[in-house]
């Protein structure tokens, strides 16, 4: 995942995602936009994050912020005063309700755990803890700078501060991991975690140290069918523990879903603030009517200079035509267990409902016959089996959507 330090969301409102790009070290599997820096000017970063937040909120003409997500990098390396300053800036330029979800990603080192109280005072009310594994040897292979005991202590402290509002991230499919070891580890994690769990299958990203180790035969990762077994067993174990799967990788109990991430999956608008941040919003202050996909400058030093000169460091902005927006609605919405409702689809496509766009497709009908996809009076969604195979279901759906768009264009 690559989230900005600040992600502000909005529908008529908005979610910012601020990005803190710095880490103390690079994990062996990571290819995110992050930098190892020993000489970060905290004051300059804070000033630039505040200024870009102000500029993008002005461009979006947003009136209300629904959630904020501080990602990275390692945002828990940022001073709590920086987090507070960004939130205060956002609140000066749009309504930020007192109960708005404000999440901080936390690296579970002793230093990270000791700062959680200060981050809560700064305005954070939800923590996402990067546990990744409860096996110290696996953490070493992944290049993490914490131990399993560090992770458990951090989760406990986060729960003490924000009970019911703590998420843990865990990676499966790690080198040397078996299905049995994974199930035992997950059971142990669930005995101590809070009400939200995010599961991520290890991806070997080209160019990373871990990729090179596997390519050289120094490490081996589980076979694809073992990975599928691990995912399936995790879903069942989590279900037995009262966690509902609400998205491909995310599980919650007691209603503890991430409202910020739900905005992503429901194709809501959000601002990306900070180096390498991504955003989706309509710059209404410029008189634009199309939503834009925006990417901020990757390199922190260059981004700082651009913000100081222009108020923001937007490197790329791509207007999204109607078909491109519908593709995002479909791609993101089908990650949700609830799928895409007819009402939600009509917000983006009032002239062509789901049945009209997809219902006549032979390929879509075949997916329904195989029990992988459901198109009914509720909307379009994957079945339990289909959600595990989502990547293979999307191409025929997108092709049908594009064909319908082409036919409509030819008639118009």
3-state secondary structure of 341: strand
Residue 33 has pLDDT above 50, yes or no: no
Q: Place 368 in a pLDDT band, splitting at 50, 70 and 90.
A: very high
pLDDT at residue 170 in the model: 95
Looking at the DSSP assignment, which residues form a beta bridge with residue 172? 201
Count other C-beta atoms under 10 Å from residue 2's C-beta: 17
In eight-state DSSP terms, residue 316 is E
Q: Which of 290, 271, 275, 380 lies closest to 329 in space, CA to CA?
A: 380
CB under 8 Å to 258, separation ≥6 — which residues?
101, 103, 126, 167, 196, 250, 252
pLDDT (mean) for 139-154: 87
Q: Tell me how far apart the alpha carbons of residues 119 and 154 are, in angstroms, rounded to a whole number.
A: 13
Weakest mean pLDDT among 90-94, 135-139, 341-345, 347-351: 135-139
Percent of the chain predicted with pLDDT > 90: 69
In eight-state DSSP terms, residue 284 is G
Q: Place 42 in a pLDDT band, splitting at 50, 70 and 90.
A: confident
101: which 2 tokens?
A: 């979800």
Residue 221 has pLDDT above 90, yes or no: no
Count other C-beta atoms under 10 Å from residue 30's C-beta: 16
Residue 145 has pLDDT above 90, yes or no: no
pLDDT at residue 412 in the model: 39
pLDDT (mean) for 364-393: 96
pLDDT at residue 7 in the model: 55
Q: How many residues does this entry show for the chain? A: 412
Choice between 297 and 408, residue whose per-residue pLDDT is larger: 297
pLDDT (mean) for 105-119: 92
In eight-state DSSP terms, residue 61 is T
Q: What is the pTM of this model?
A: 0.89
Q: Which of 321, 327, 323 lies closest to 340 in space, CA to CA?
A: 327
Query: Token match 């923001």: residue?
Result: 312
pLDDT at residue 255 in the model: 95
Percent of the chain predicted with pLDDT > 70: 87
Q: Tell me how far apart the alpha carbons of residues 118 and 115 are, in angstroms, rounded to a whole number.
A: 5
Report whether 122 contacts 155 (CB < 8 A).
no
Report whether 317 contacts 292 (CB < 8 A).
yes
Q: Place 213 in a pLDDT band, splitting at 50, 70 and 90.
A: confident
DSSP 222-291: --HHHHHHHHHHHHHHHHHTT-EEEETTEEESTT---HHHHHHHTT-EEEEESTT-EEEE--GGGT--S-
pLDDT at residue 154 in the model: 96
Residue 319 has pLDDT above 60, yes or no: yes
Dihedral angle of Cα 175, 178, 182, 188, to the nearest 10 degrees: -100
pLDDT digits (tens, 9 = 90+) for 260-302: 999 999 999 999 999 989 999 999 888 888 999 999 998 888 9
Mean pLDDT for all residues in the chain: 87
Residue 87 has pLDDT above 70, yes or no: yes
Q: Tell me how far apart the alpha carbons of residues 367 and 390 are, in angstroms, rounded to a whole number.
A: 11
Helix (H) or strand (E) holding 366: helix 362-369
pLDDT (mean) for 66-88: 89
pLDDT at residue 401 in the model: 94
Label residue 215 exposed, middle or buried (CB < 10 Å: 0-12, 13-18, 19+).
Answer: exposed
Weakest mean pLDDT among 135-144, 312-321, 330-339: 135-144
381: which 2 tokens?
A: 């969604």
pLDDT at residue 96 in the model: 93
pLDDT at residue 41 in the model: 81
- Asked if the bond preceding 73 is cis, omega within 30° of 0, the reply is yes
Q: Place 30 in a pLDDT band, splitting at 50, 70 and 90.
A: low
Q: Place 390 in a pLDDT band, splitting at 50, 70 and 90.
A: very high
Residue 410 has pLDDT above 70, yes or no: no
Residue 313 has pLDDT above 50, yes or no: yes
CB under 8 Å to 147, separation ≥6 — which residues?
136, 139
**Positive or negative: CA dihedral 24, 9, 262, 388:** negative
Q: Place 1 in a pLDDT band, splitting at 50, 70 and 90.
A: very low
Residue 27 has pLDDT above 60, yes or no: no
Residue 184 has pLDDT above 50, yes or no: yes
pLDDT at residue 125 in the model: 97
Residue 81 has pLDDT above 80, yes or no: yes
pLDDT at residue 216 in the model: 78
**Positive or negative: CA dihedral 125, 38, 148, 174:** positive
Count other C-beta atoms under 10 Å from residue 375's C-beta: 20
């Amino acid at each position: 995942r690559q989230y900005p330090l600040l992600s502000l969301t909005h529908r008529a409102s908005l979610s910012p995602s601020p990005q803190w790009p710095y880490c103390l070290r690079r994990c062996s599997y990571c290819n995110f936009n992050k930098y190892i820096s020993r000489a970060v000017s905290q004051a300059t970063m804070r000033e630039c994050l505040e200024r870009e937040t102000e500029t993008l909120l002005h461009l979006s003409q947003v009136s209300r912020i629904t959630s904020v997500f501080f990602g990275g990098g390692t945002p828990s390396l940022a001073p709590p005063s920086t987090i507070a300053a960004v939130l205060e800036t956002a609140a000066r330029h749009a309504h930020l309700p007192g109960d708005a979800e404000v999440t901080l990603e936390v690296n579970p080192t002793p230093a990270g755990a000791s700062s959680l109280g200060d981050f809560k005072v700064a305005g954070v009310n939800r923590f996402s803890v990067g546990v990744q594994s409860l096996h110290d040897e696996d953490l070493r292979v992944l290049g993490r700078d914490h131990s399993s005991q560090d992770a458990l202590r951090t989760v406990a402290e986060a729960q003490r501060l924000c009970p019911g509002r703590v998420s843990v991230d865990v990676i499966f499919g790690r080198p040397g991991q078996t299905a049995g070891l994974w199930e035992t580890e997950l059971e142990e994690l669930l005995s101590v975690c809070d009400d939200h769990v995010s599961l991520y299958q290890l991806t070997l990203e080209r160019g990373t140290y871990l990729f090179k180790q596997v390519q050289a035969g120094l490490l081996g990762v589980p076979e694809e069918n073992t990975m599928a077994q691990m995912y399936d067993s995790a879903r069942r174990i989590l279900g037995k523990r009262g966690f509902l799967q609400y998205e491909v990788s995310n599980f919650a109990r007691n209603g503890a879903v991430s409202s910020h991430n739900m905005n992503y999956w429901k194709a809501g608008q959000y601002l990306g603030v900070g180096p390498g941040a991504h955003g989706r919003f309509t710059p209404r202050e410029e008189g634009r009517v199309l939503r834009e996909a925006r990417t901020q400058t990757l390199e922190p030093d260059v981004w700082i200079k651009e913000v100081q000169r222009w108020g923001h460091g937007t490197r790329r902005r791509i207007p999204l035509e109607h078909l491109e927006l519908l593709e995002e609605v479909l791609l993101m919405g089908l990650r949700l267990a609830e799928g895409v409702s007819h009402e939600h689809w009509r917000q983006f496509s009032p002239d062509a409902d789901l049945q009209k766009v997809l219902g006549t497709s032979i390929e879509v009908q075949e997916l329904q016959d195989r029990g992988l996809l459901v198109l009914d009076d509720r909307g379009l969604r994957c079945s339990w089996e289909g959600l595990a195979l989502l990547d293979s279901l999307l191409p025929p759906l997108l092709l049908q959507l594009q064909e319908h768009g082409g036919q409509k264009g030819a008639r118009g």
